């Protein structure tokens, strides 16, 4: 788990016929513990609302499924959720537990972590592009996938090599043409950066 990832510490859910569905969720993010309570139309709705509120995120649940992974009284349930952001980007989260509510919460948190990871990678790409004055930088969601974008923009020709940055699961891709217009014409930046990932992490 990276420093920015969230981990489920505990959950307490109050649900039943004729009573409010209330969920209290506690997460750990780095060295910080976060806790919030929410009321929802069901135990999962309340749990997801609590997570969104404590993280100050506007995440929408698009789909949810639950399947038994093992058999017997202590069967493990596997939950899969698809969540999305207001801009349309979607992410898939998975979670496992013998408690179906817990496995669902874990899946939602897993989807949240993918959103955080995607945002971190996007920030690193922007920093890298600014540091090395890369002209042809196409931010997330603006142009498309790099292997289609670069030929369409006339930035590469047949036989030329391309170094690109690809997004994470569910994310729209970012593209950086490290070598300027026409890869063959600009070995300058690519020539003296043997490990671009080291630069991006600084």
Q: How confident is the model at residue 144 (pLDDT cuts 50, 70, 90)?
A: low
Residue 128 has pLDDT above 80, yes or no: yes
Residue 96 has pLDDT above 90, yes or no: yes
- The predicted-structure confidence for 176-191, as pLDDT tens digits, reads as follows 444 444 434 433 443 4
In angstroms, what CA-CA distances link 20 with 23, 129, 133, 165, 174? 10, 50, 55, 47, 44
Measured distance CA(112)–CA(90) in Å, rounded: 10
Measured distance CA(117)–CA(111) in Å, rounded: 10
- The predicted-structure confidence for 147-168, as pLDDT tens digits, reads as follows 666 677 777 777 776 665 444 4
Predicted local confidence at residue 97, as pLDDT: 96
Mean pLDDT score, 111-123: 90
Average pLDDT of every residue of the chain:
79
Q: What's the whole-model pTM score?
A: 0.72
Question: SS3 letters for the chain?
Answer: CCCCCEEEEEEEEECCCCCCEEEEEEEEECCEEEEEEEEECCHHHHHHHHHHHHHCCCCEEEEEEEEECCCCCCCCEEEEEEEECCCCCEEEEEEEECCHHHHHHHHHHHHHHHHHHHHHHHHHHHHHHHHCCCCCEECCCCCCCHHHHHHHCCCCCCCCCCCCCCCCCCCCCCEECCCCCCHHHCHHHHHHCCCHHHHHCC
């Amino acid at each position: 788990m990276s420093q920015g990832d969230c981990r489920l510490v505990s959950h307490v859910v109050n649900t039943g016929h004729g009573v409010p569905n209330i969920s209290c969720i506690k997460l750990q993010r780095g060295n910080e513990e976060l806790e919030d309570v929410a009321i929802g139309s069901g135990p999962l709705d309340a749990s997801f609302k609590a997570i969104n509120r404590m993280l100050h995120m506007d995440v929408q649940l698009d789909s949810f499924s639950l399947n038994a992974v093992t058999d017997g009284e202590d069967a493990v349930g596997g939950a899969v959720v698809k969540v999305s952001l207001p801009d349309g980007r979607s992410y898939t989260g998975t979670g496992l537990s013998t408690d179906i509510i817990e496995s669902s919460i874990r899946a939602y948190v897993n989807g949240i972590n993918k959103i955080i990871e995607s945002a971190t990678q996007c920030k690193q790409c922007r920093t890298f592009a600014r540091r090395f004055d890369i002209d042809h930088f196409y931010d997330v969601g603006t142009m498309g996938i790099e292997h289609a974008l670069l030929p369409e923009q006339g930035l590469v020709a047949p036989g030329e090599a391309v170094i690109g940055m690809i997004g994470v699961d569910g994310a729209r891709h970012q593209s950086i043409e490290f070598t300027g217009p026409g890869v063959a014409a600009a070995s300058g930046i690519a020539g003296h950066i043997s490990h671009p990932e080291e630069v991006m992490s600084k």
